[in-house]
Amino acid sequence: MGFWETRRVVVTGGHGFLGSFVVEKLRAAGAKEVVVPRSDKHDLRIQTEALRLYTDTHPDIVIHLAAVVGGIGANRKYPGRFFRDNAIMGLNVIEAARITGIEKFVCAGTICSYPKFTPVPFREKDFWNGYPEETNAPYGLAKKMLLVQLQAYREEYGFNGIYLTPVNLYGPRDNFDLESSHVIPALIRKCIEAKQADALEIVAWGTGNATREFLYVEDAAEAIVLAAEKYSKPDLVNLGSGEEISVRDLLEMIRTMVGARAAVRWDHSKPDGQPRRSLDTSRAAQEFGWRAKTSLNAGLKETIEWFTASRTAAAV
C-alpha cells in the first residue's frame, strides 16, 4: 500500500486556490479519504469547532491551508482581521490536533513573515532577523507565530508538526478581484481589460522596482504533499521557484503576452511592499527532493489562458 492510501487527510482551505490543487495532488497520490471542511460547517476561529472537525472526521494527517489572504491593498485595509483570523485559526487547529493525537500536522506559512530587509536569497536561518515589511506585517506575524507553536508543541508534547514557507503563488483559479488580489492576477486583469477597451494606459502600483519571486500553484501543491509524506523536522522549509523578477519587468511580460498596447503609468502614491523577494530553496531539495518545475513564462501563459477562458464562459 502507498503512503497516502492508508491515511485519512483533512485539508483546511481545501476549496481555496492552493487547497484545491493540494486536494487533487493527494488524490492523484492515492489518498482515498480526503476531507475538505467548509467554514459554514466548521468555523475554525472557534476552538470547539476546530476540535469537532477532528472528532467528526478522525484524520491521520492535517494540512492547514485555511487563511485570510490578499494583496497589499487588502492587507492595508484589514490589518486587524488579517492578524486575528489567521492567528486564531492556526492556534485552534494545532491545539485540536494535539488534543486528538493527530499523526502529523502540515502548516503553510508565508513569505510575508520574513524580515523586510532579508539578504537575498532568503535563507531559513534569517527568518527571525528583523521585522516584516509593514504593509504585510500583521498577516506575516500571525502566520509566523504558528511556527513557534509547532516547535513548542514538538518540544513539550512530541507533536509532529512541520512548517512550509511558500513564496508568492499564482496560477489558474487565483483571485482576480482587483480589491483583494495579488500582483500577478491584478496585472493580468488590468492588461486584458485595457486591451479589450483599447485603453490608453494601464495604472500599476508603486515604482515597479520591487522584485518578486513567484511559484506556480501546482508546483506548490506538489511540494506540500511531498513534504507531508517525507519531512518531519522542526525547521521551516522555503518553497520557491528560483526566478526573481522586478514588478516592472513582470508587467512588461504580461502586457506582451496579452497583446495590450496601452502605456504604463506607475502610481508612486501606492506602496511597493518589500523591496526584494527571492528564496534559497536548497533545503526543500535536500530534505524531500523537491524543486519547482514550471518556469514563470510557462506559468503565466497557463494563468492567462485560464482567466481568459473563465471570463468567456462567464459571459455566455
CATH code for position 290: 3.40.50.720
Does residue 192 belong to any structural domain of this protein? no
When mean pLDDT is compared across 66-75, 116-125, 201-210, 231-240, the lowest value belongs to 66-75
> pLDDT tier at 235 (50, 70, 90 boundaries)?
very high
Instruction: Assess if residue 240 is contained within a domain.
Output: yes
pLDDT for residue 87 is more than 70: yes
Q: Across residues 24-40, what is the average pLDDT?
A: 96
In a domain, 51, yes or no: yes
Domain-embedded: residue 251:
no
User: Is position 285 within any domain?
Assistant: yes
pLDDT digits (tens, 9 = 90+) for 250-287: 999 999 999 999 999 999 999 999 999 999 999 999 99
Question: Residue 15 has what DSSP assignment?
Answer: T
Q: Is 280 within a domain?
A: yes
Asked if residue 30 lies in contact with residue 2, where contact means CB atoms within 8 angstroms, the answer is yes
Q: Which residues contact 289 (CB under 8 A, 6 or more apart)?
A: 226, 230
Task: Show the cell assigned to 114.
Answer: 520574513
Of the candidates 42, 32, 40, 79, which has an alpha carbon nearest to the alpha carbon of residue 64?
42
The set of catalytic residues is 139
Residue 281 within any structural domain of the chain: yes
Whether 316 maps to a domain, the answer reads no
pLDDT over 90, % of the chain: 94
The pLDDT of residue 37 is above 90: yes
Backbone dihedral region for residue 229 (phi beyond 0: left; psi -120 to 50: alpha; all else: beta):
alpha
Q: Which domain holds residue 123?
A: 4-171+213-244+276-294
pTM of the model: 0.96
Provide the number of structural domains found in the chain: 1
